[in-house]
Amino acid sequence: MPVVQPSGLTTTIAVDYKPFGVQLTFVPTVLANGVINLRLTPSVSELDFANAVVISGFRIPALTLREARTTIELRDGQSFSIAGLLQSDGLRNISEVPWLGSVPVLGALFRSSSYQQSETDLVVIVTAHLVAPGVPGQKIASPLDSRAPSNDVDLFLLGQTDVRKKKSDDVVGPPGGSDRLPTGYIMPLDAK
pLDDT of residue 154: 83
Question: Contact, 82 vs 54, CB < 8 A?
Answer: no
Helices in 82-175 by DSSP H: which ranges? 152
At position 134, the amino acid (one-letter code) is G
- Contacts of the segment 6-14: beta carbons below 8 A, 24+ positions apart: 6/55, 11/56, 13/55, 13/56, 13/58
Return the exposure string of 16-28: e unless at least 16 CB atoms fall within 10 Å of the residue's CB, then b. eeeebeeeeeeee
Report CA 189 to chain centroid distance, whole Å: 29
CA distance 151 to 141: 23
Neighbouring residues of 57: CB distance < 8 A, sequence distance ≥ 6: none
Question: Contact, 31 vs 73, CB < 8 A?
Answer: yes
The HSE-up count of residue 66 (CA atoms within 13 Å, CB side) is 15
Mean pLDDT by 10 residues, the chain (192 residues): 61 72 93 92 90 82 90 93 87 90 89 90 90 82 79 84 67 50 56 49
pLDDT of residue 169: 46
pLDDT of residue 132: 80
pLDDT of residue 170: 46
- DSSP structural state of residue 137: T
Among the listed residues 142, 125, 133, 126, the one whose alpha carbon sits nearest the alpha carbon of residue 187: 133
